[in-house]
Amino acid sequence: MMHHKTLSVMAIKKSFYIAFYFILATFWLPAAGQSTHFKHGVVVSAHPEASAIGLEILKAGGNAIDAAVAVQFALSVVYPNAGNIGGGGFLVYRPAHGTPVTLDYREKAPARASSDMFLDPAGIPITQLSLDGALAAGVPGSVDGMVQAHKRYGNLSWRQVLEPAIQLAKIGFRITEKQANELNHFQERFIALNPGGSPLTRQVPWKKGDTLRQEALAHTISLIQDKGRNGFYVGETAQKIVATMQQAKGIISLEDLKNYHAQWRKPVIGTYRGYKVISMPPPSSGGAALIALLKSVEAYALSRWGFQQDSTVRLIVEAERRVYADRATHLGDPDFVKVPLNQLLDSAYNAGRLAGFSFEKASPSSTISAGAIAPVEKEQTTHFSIVDKDGNAVSITTTLNGSYGSGLFVAGAGFLLNNEMDDFSVKPGSPNMYGLVGGTANAIEPGKRMLSSMTPTILEKEGKLYLVVGTPGGSTIITSVFQTILNVIDFGQPIQEAVSAPRFHHQWLPDEVMTEKGAIAADVRKKLQASGYVIKERGSIGRVDAILVLKDGILQGGADPRGDDKASGY
């Protein structure tokens, strides 16, 4: 049985609890995309129901980690395309008093995985094998990650922080218009991959306001509530996972599940214009790449040039081009490969990478390779940021990889499995589903964690908490966090403006600048195109959720209007 913390508040009776929850959901949540100011605590997440639950935990005496655990499990109920117990993620925690830490609960390759498992006899990648169905799934890490985080830092009992998600799954919640559209779009995929049916399929189309109830998922989370990690990695749920694997020709075994453990790691730390940047180390490429980007542009007068002006865009694109080239070659699971982290974070190294770049013309990616150092994702991730009344802060990015992951539900358990195996270099030099190219450092090996772009990040100013930030978005995660930080520090934008501002992205290969509608003014685009930049407009980039601490200590929440994201606090 899991160790239970002593309750700091009286247990909430179920009937009162349910009523209280719905009151919160109705009255405590601001409109999507609305900037909010709170004194005691704030939760910013991808779904209003999850934000309401996080707020409830804070108001019941829970700290940032208690709220984070509650939000993680709530998102598995209300945001199944990315919130999960069948995937994994990364946590950056800055206690108000103490040393910042990170927790890696990224998925792992099963023991039977091999470097050629997604190749045909001629060595050509079979794309769908790493995207759809059982073979695409890595060993899930979310449950063990939450267990470890709570055991080390939680204040309320494990039972109390999981109860909201269980009730939400049982009672159900009303889906948003965006969710109805997504569920209808994915019906054929769910049906094809789950011949026995799934919790998200039905004969009539979904519509806004429909109630989604998930009894099987409620039972699964109840097992985790009762037994901790043993409620997922051994026993009934583990057997259901393996039975689904066997039926769908997957390779995750009972031993893979039993042997999975999240890992505490030291954060990567850098500075930018006097601010301390605390972020996620490998196997996430996010922290190293973010700090490299910040160091690359630090010597330039961005604030004088202005937001998305010609010189600003050129500098950012050229920095991104070079950092993503390094990412493809040098980054992977540090338990398996030597990652030259110190050099990748070095100010002189990153400044040198931009030496020779011209403000007059684009540097073709064909002429850019990884830096000379001694002898690589789908966009439906989700992020949430939390600060409690004591100033403890947590930044978490979690994912199934593609939207609704592998599309495969664990039969009888009510949750989706990830398709994170596509985040490995299926074949070095071949792009993954995001067009990201990887090398041998990120090749598939049994027990190895796949490289990620997730970039949960916390900034300090003069030793005090300043900014909590992160986003989903696959390969665009790093650049979205990067540009949001620049928006706040260099361009002086309030947090909601910084989060809402249109974004652009470059990732070395393919050699094109991807832009949202409204990003980079027409006259600036024309100059860039004349200089050799290929600009392609696409849909939204990222869904940043952030919290800014103002000078008077007030917490300013920024929820991305690109989704149903909400900031909730008190």
Which amino acid, residue 283? Answer: P
Q: Look up tokens 């505490």; give the residue.
A: 264
- Determine phi and psi for 66, rounding to 5 degrees: -55, -45
Cis peptide before 340 (omega within 30 of 0): no
Tokens standing for 302?
Answer: 């961005």
Q: How many angstroms separate the CA atoms of 311 and 289, rounded? A: 21
| Three-state DSSP string of 71-84 | HHHHHHHHCCCCCC
Q: Look up tokens 């696409």; give the residue.
A: 538
Instruction: Identify the CA nearest to 286 among candidates 316, 335, 312, 323.
Output: 323
Q: Where are the beta strands (DSSP E) in 266-363?
A: 268-272, 275-279
- What letter does residue 212 receive in the DSSP assignment? E
Specify whether the CB–CB gap between 466 and 275 falls below 8 A. yes
Q: Look up tokens 């920024």; give the residue.
A: 558
Q: How many angstroms separate the CA atoms of 560 and 218, rounded? A: 29
Specify whether the CB–CB gap between 182 and 227 falls below 8 A. no
Tokens standing for 26?
Answer: 């109705």
Is 237 noted as a catalytic residue in this protein? no
Specify whether the CB–CB gap between 483 and 320 falls below 8 A. no
Q: How many angstroms separate the CA atoms of 548 and 236, rounded? A: 43
Q: How many angstroms separate the CA atoms of 138 and 36, rounded? A: 38
3-class DSSP state for residue 6? coil
Q: How many angstroms separate the CA atoms of 551 and 553, rounded? A: 5
Q: Which residues pair with 557 in a beta bridge?
A: 36, 547
Tokens standing for 522?
Answer: 């027409």
DSSP 3-state percent helix, strand, coil across the chain (nearest 5): 40, 15, 45
Marked catalytic residue, from 244, 381, 397, 476: 381
Name the burial class of residue 83, with classes exposed (0-12), middle (13-18) and buried (19+) by CB atoms within 10 angstroms of its CB: buried
Specify whether the CB–CB gap between 251 and 245 falls below 8 A. yes
State the catalytic residues. 381
